[in-house]
Structure 1
Amino acid sequence: MVDVLGHLGMALLWLAPVWYFVDHRRTAALVVGGGFWFGMLPDVDLLLSNWFAGIHHHGVLHTVLAATAFAVVLGPLVGLVFRRIGERTDATWFSARARERPTVIGAITVFVTGVAHVFADMLSAPDVSTRIEPLWPVVKGPVVMMDLLWYQSWWATWGLFVLGVTVNAAAWYLTDGPEASAAAGTAAE
């Protein structure tokens, strides 16, 4: 598995499409900047394993099912926090369209980052760690054995993080967003 920065970088990579699907650049920045932290959520099993005997690292919390449960439980709260931040800071940080469905945006954000974490672990965990069973309970056992990265690889960890930041920075500059397009259309008239 990659280290913390690698998981955050993978979450940034998986959140990068938000720049093209959200109607407002600042809303996308809020979702990416506030959401990528949830890329570490499946590793809560490290803490819970100290209290509960049946929980172990790379177990049930490293599945698509757990990512879905996190999205259903935490996603609406995350979306409401995003909307509240947008309201308190400046109305332009959370677009009017996003304010209509903040719980959906939050749920998608938590789900995508949770699955990104599981995928990052699938790239490196099989060599010395517990194998990941991402589709449990539907499919028992590992789905695909990738083992592409060395366990706790420095270059992979930093590479994923730098790549995630770079892709999102490029998306920030390359997407004008509909608000810029609308302003350009109004100026042309």
Structure 2
Amino acid sequence: MVDIIGHVGMGLLWLTVAGWLAYEDEAALGFVALGAPFSLLPDIDLWLSKAFAGIKHHGVVHTVLFVSVAAIAIGAVLGKWVVPWLRSRYLPANAIGNDYLYAIGAVWVGGVAHVFADMLSAPDIADSIEPLWPLYRQSFGIDVFYYNDPVVNWGLFLGGLAFTAILWWQADTDDTAATA
């Protein structure tokens, strides 16, 4: 598991790649902005464990199954109210297609990025995770870096910001060149 800032950075990296593969310009940036907060979604178990006995960190909410179910539920709400608001103010007409799929995709990519980041560092001070539960009940832990490593955490965050900014700048440059 990486620190909060590292999870947001990993989310930015994954969302930027997915956003720019699926959408263009403002729609891709909107995808990144919509999904970035959900790169912290699996850590909801830290809050739930305080209210409910038996919930452990890196348990069922650190799975692709949980992220998928949560993305559908949260994406339905975002697709109903938030995405239409974004579309009416910031996104070009017909830039995203289905509002619900746009929102579900953003939440899902952010959440799965979190699970992947935890796979890279989980075994050091926390339980390893079983991301493919219930289909595959083996834990995955690559243990590439230490949880509290500020270089890794801030590197992921600043790298995610830089990557998003570079693609945004490139898209803006392409738009400027196309209109000239």
What is the TM-score when the length of structure 2 is the normalising length?
0.90
Superposition pairs of residues 90-169 of structure 1, within 5 angstroms: 90=89, 93-98=90-95, 100-143=97-140, 145-169=141-165
- Code of the residue aligned with 2:112 in structure 1: it is V
Aligned residues: 178
How far 1:83 sits from its partner (Å)?
2.0
Alpha-carbon contact 1:67-1:114 (below 8 Å) kept? yes
Deviation at 1:151, TM superposition (A): 2.1
Of all paired residues, the percent bearing the same amino acid is 43
The separation in 2 between residues aligned to 1:99 and 1:63, in whole angstroms, is 27
The root-mean-square deviation of aligned C-alpha atoms, in Å, is: 2.0
Q: Which runs of 5+ in 2 are unaligned?
A: none
Aligned twin of 1:173: 169
Q: Which amino acid aligns with 2:83?
A: F
Would you say the 8 A contact 1:123–1:149 is kept in 2? yes
- 8 A Cα contact 1:83 1:99, kept in partner: no
Q: Indicate how the Cα distance of structure 1 residues 35 and 4 shifts in structure 2: closer, same or farther if over 3 A, else same.
A: same
- What code does the residue aligned with 1:169 have? A
Mean Cα displacement is larger for which, 50-59 or 168-177?
168-177
Matched, 1:19 2:15: no
Superposed displacement of residue 174, structure 1: 1.5
AA paired with 1:114?
G
Deviant stretches of 4+, over 4 Å: none
**3-state SS, counterpart of residue 127 of structure 1:** coil
Q: Which residue of 1 aligns with 2:66?
A: 66
Change (3 A) 1:130 1:100: same
Q: Measure, in 2, the Cα distance between the counterparts of 1:100 and 1:32.
A: 16
Change (3 A) 1:166 1:99: closer
Q: Secondary structure at the match of 2:61?
A: coil
Q: Give the alignment's TM-score, normalised by structure 1.
A: 0.86
CA separation in 1, counterparts of 2:130 and 2:105? Answer: 22
Q: Which runs of 5+ in 1 are unaligned?
A: none
**Residue type matched to 2:130 in 1?**
E
Quick one: distance in 1 between partners of 2:92 and 2:173? 11
Secondary structure at the aligned position of 1:61 is classed as: helix
